[in-house]
Chains A and B, each alone.
Chain A
Amino acid sequence: MSKLALLGVLSSAVFSGASLLYATLGEIVSERSGIVNLGLEGVLLVSASTGFAVTSLTGNPYLGVLAAVIAGGLMNMILGYLVVNRKANQLASGLALMFFGFGLSALIGKGFVGAKIVGLPRLAVPGSSGLPKLYASLLRFDILIYLAVPVAIAIWWLLFRTRWGLGVRAVGESPDTAFASGRNPRLIRFQALWLGGALAGVGGAHLSIAYAMNWTEYMTAGLGFIAIALVIFSKWHPLYAIAGALLFSGAVAFQLLLQSSGIQVSPFLLSTIPYVLTLVVLMAWGSRRRMAAPAGLGQVYEGVE
C-alpha cells in the first residue's frame, strides 16, 4: 500500500477524531453535572445542519460555526427543561431529543442537500511545506482541529481548577450537598448543559462545514453514541478524552487500511474493530474503583421540602 493512502487515512482520522473529541467533551461537561444526554446524536445533527445552512446562506463559515454552537446549546436547553424543570427520566428524554434532532435536522437541511459552500479554511501543518505537493495537501487542517486539544485542556481547567467547575462536579455528585453549600443545582445544571451543547455544536459544525463540506441526512452515523461511550472510557476526564478520541479514530483508520490492503477478512468484521476495542477497554477499566461515574448521574434533583 502506498504511503499516500496511509497518509490519506490518517488525515481523515484526524478530521473525524476532532468532531468526536468536541462531542465527547460536551457530554463530559453535562454528565459531570449529573445529566446523561443520550440525545447527543440529535444535537450533533441539528448543529451540523444549522451550521451548514447558515454557511451556505451567508457564505461565512465562521457565522456557520456560531449558529451551530447556538443550535447545540438550544437543543440541550430542551433536555434541561424536561429533566431539570419537569423532572422527567433522563434516558427517555435523551432518546426523545435524539429522534427530535433527526427530524429537525432533516427539515433544516432539506433545501441544502448538494449545496456548495466555502468551508473553514485549511492551514498547512507547520513544516509540511517541504513535502511533495500531494502529501502536503493531506496535511492541511482547519482551525477547529488545531483548537481541539487546547479546548480539551481548557475544559479540564474549567472543571478542575475553577469555582464554577467545583460547583458542577459537586452538583453531579450530590445536588443536596451542593445546595447546602449555597449553590443552585438547577441553574448549574442548565449552565453545564448549555456549555455541553455548545461544544457538541462545534463538533457538529466541524463535521459539515470543515470535514465533509456538505449536508446529508444522518451524516453523523453514530458519532454521538461513540462519544457517550468515550465519556466512560475517559473516566469523565477531559484529558483522557483526547486519548480516547485518538484511539477510536485511529482504530477506524486502521480498519480502513486493512480493508484497502485487500486482506481476506470480511469488511463487515473489520469495521467492528473500533467498537470491539471500545468494549475491551470498557471491560478492562470498568472494575476500577477510581473511575466511578458521578454519584448523582441520572438522578432527579427534587429540591427543598
Chain B
Amino acid sequence: MIPGSEAVSAPPVLSVRDLVKRFPGVLANDSISLDAMPGEVHALLGENGAGKSTLVKCIYGFYRRDSGELLIDGEPTEIRSPQEARSRGIGMVFQTLTLIPALSVVENVALFLADLPAIPKLERIAAGLETLGERYDLKVDPWAQVRDLSIGQQQKAELLKLLLSQPRLLILDEPTRVLAPQEVQGFFQVLKRLVDDGLSVILITHKLNEVLECADRITVLRQGRVAGQVERTDATETGLVRLMFDRDLTIAPVSRSTAESAEGPPVLELQQAYTRGEGAATSLEQIDLVIRPWEIVGVAGVSGNGQKELGELILGSAPCIQGTKRLFGEDFTRRSIGDVRRAGVAYIPENPLAMAVNPHMTVLQNMAITQTRRYSRRGGLSIDWQAVESDTELTWERLGFRVPPHLLARSLSGGNLQRAVIARELSHEPRLIIASYLTHGLDVQSVHAARAALVQARDQGAGVLLISEDLEELSEYSDRMVVMHAGRIVGDFRTADADIYEVGRLMTGSQFAYG
C-alpha cells in the first residue's frame, strides 16, 4: 500500500513501516506495513505460525523489532517496552492469557490499569467490573482467584481488564477463541460501540465470519509477509482463504457413527460420581455418564459449569469422592492418572500451555513425556529419540499439519501449540479421547484436520468426549449430547433428536429458575 494514500482526514493512529522480526532460524515478520485508522477495525488474518502474534507484540513493545518504523498519529515514535506503548494509549490482549493464576480477578485487572493510584481501591475497581460485566454480559466474580476460573471465564476477565483501561488503539489477539457464540455476539456489540467512539482496533482471529462481520479492512499474512490487503466490501470467504493458504480448501462431509449397537463394554461409565471443588471451582454432583466405543458424546454448557472438572475426574487429577468410575469395563475409581493414561485415555485440556505441555521443553520432548515407557530403552536409562521423531512425523502426516519439532514449546505460535497437543494425544490409538475446546486457536484448515482426526478415531472404535461451547460444532460432530449446568448433567439427547432451544435453555439453567 502507498503510505499516506488514504490519509484524507486524520492520519492513521498507528502506521507500521517495513517491520522485520527474526527469531533464531525463523524470519517471523518480513517487512510488514499496515495502518490502523481511527474508528476502524483492522483484521489481521493468516494461518497458524504466519507471524500475526509476533507482529503485534513488536508493536506493543513486548518484542524488540529488528528494523522498521512505527508512526503514531503520523509521527515517528519509538516504542521500546509495553510501558511506553501503554503511555501512548495502546492496549493489548495477548493470545496466551496474561492473567496471574495466584491473584484475584480484581488484582489482575488493577495490574493493567494505566492510572492505578499508589494505594488502589480494589473495592471500587471490583464495583466497576461488576457494572461493566452486567452491562456487556461478561459476568465474572471479581474476588475469585484466577486459578479457580475456567478458561472461558478467564477470557472474560481478560476482556474486562481491557475495557476498563480505555486505550486509543486496542490490539486483540484472538479474543473470542474460547467464548460461547452468544458471548461473541455480545463482545462484538461492545466493540462496535467503542469503535463508534473513535477507538481503533487491530483484531486477530481465525473465524472468517467474525472478520466479514466487523472488520473494516483486512490484512492477510502468509509466512511472515503481507499476502494481501482488502477492504471488507471486496472480501469474500473463499478469497480470504486463498490469500491465507495460497490454495482452496476442500472439506469432506462429516460421517455419522456407523456402529449400530457397539459391542464390548462402554469405554467410560460414571455412576453417581461426585468431586469436591476447591475455592471457586465447581463441584460435580451425581454424574451419570456412559460413553460407548464408536461414539462421540458432546458436552454442551456454559464454560465454568463443571466441564473442566469432568475432564479432570475422568483423567483422575480430581479425585472421585463418591460414586464409581469405570473405564473399558474395569473399575478405575481409585487408580492413578498414569494407569488411566496407560489404559488408553487421551486428554486435550482447555488450556494446553498450563495443563498439557512443559513450556521449557522442546516439541519432541513434549511429544514423548506421556509415553516415556514406550520410548525408554536399556531399562529406562535412555530414550529412543529417533522413534519419537519418526512416530511424530507419522502423526503429522496423518493429521495434515506439522509443528517445528526442535523449538521450545513456549516459543510456538498459539495454534502450533494446540496442533502439537492434538498430535500427541491422537497418536498411539487412544480408546477414549477427552477433548476440550479442540479447535482453540487453530486456523480454518487445521480446524478441519483436527475434527477429521477425531471422527477418524471414532470410526476406528474410540469413544470421544467432546467438550465445547459451540453448539454448531456439537450438533455437527457428536452422536449424542449431554448438557452440563452447575456441576450436574441436566440433559442427555441423541443429537439427531435434540432441540437447540431446549439445549440452550438447559445450558443457562433456566429450568431451575422458572420450573
Contact = CB atoms under 8 A, between A and B. Distances in A.
Contacts of A289: 278
B23 A173 contact: no
B140 to A, nearest CB: 18
Contacts of B99: 177
Interface in B104-133: 107, 110-112, 114, 116-120
Contact of B111 (A162, A170, A292, A295): A170
Contacts of A181: 82, 98, 111-112
A173 B100 contact: yes
Contacts of A163: 110, 116-120
B278 to A, nearest CB: 6
Contact of B102 (A162, A167, A292): A292
A174 B81 contact: no
A180 interface: yes
A182 B102 contact: no
B451 interface: no
A100 B110 CA distance: 40
Nearest to B99: A177
A169 B110 CA distance: 13
B94 interface: yes
A110 interface: no
Contacts of B292: none
A180 B173 CA distance: 14
In this complex, the interface size class of chain A, counting residues with CB under 8 Å from chain B, is 20 to 34
A116 interface: no
Nearest to A162: B119
A305 to B, nearest CB: 6
B107 A304 contact: no
Q: SS class of chain B's interface: helix, strand, loop or mixed?
A: loop
Nearest to B117: A163
Contacts of B98: 174, 176-177, 180-181
A295 B101 contact: yes
Interface in A222-266: none
Interface in A162-194: 162-164, 166-167, 169-170, 173-174, 176-184
Contacts of A182: 81-83, 85-87, 112, 114
B280 to A, nearest CB: 12
B103 interface: yes
A34 interface: no
A177 to B, nearest CB: 5
A173 B103 contact: yes
A174 B82 CA distance: 15
Nearest to A174: B100
Given A162-B119, A294-B102, A295-B102, A179 B62 contact: yes
Contacts of B64: 304-305
A169 B62 CA distance: 20
Given A290-B279, A305-B23, 14 more contacts: A162-B119, A163-B110, A164-B118, A169-B102, A170-B100, A170-B111, A174-B98, A177-B98, A180-B62, A181-B98, A182-B81, A182-B85, A182-B114, A305-B64
Interface of B: 23, 60, 62-64, 81-83, 85-87, 92, 94, 98-103, 107, 110-112, 114, 116-120, 278-279
Interface of A: 161-164, 166-167, 169-170, 173-174, 176-184, 289-290, 292, 294-295, 304-305
Complex A-B, nearest 6 residue pairs according to Cβ-Cβ distance, in ascending order? A182-B83, A173-B100, A182-B86, A177-B98, A181-B111, A181-B112
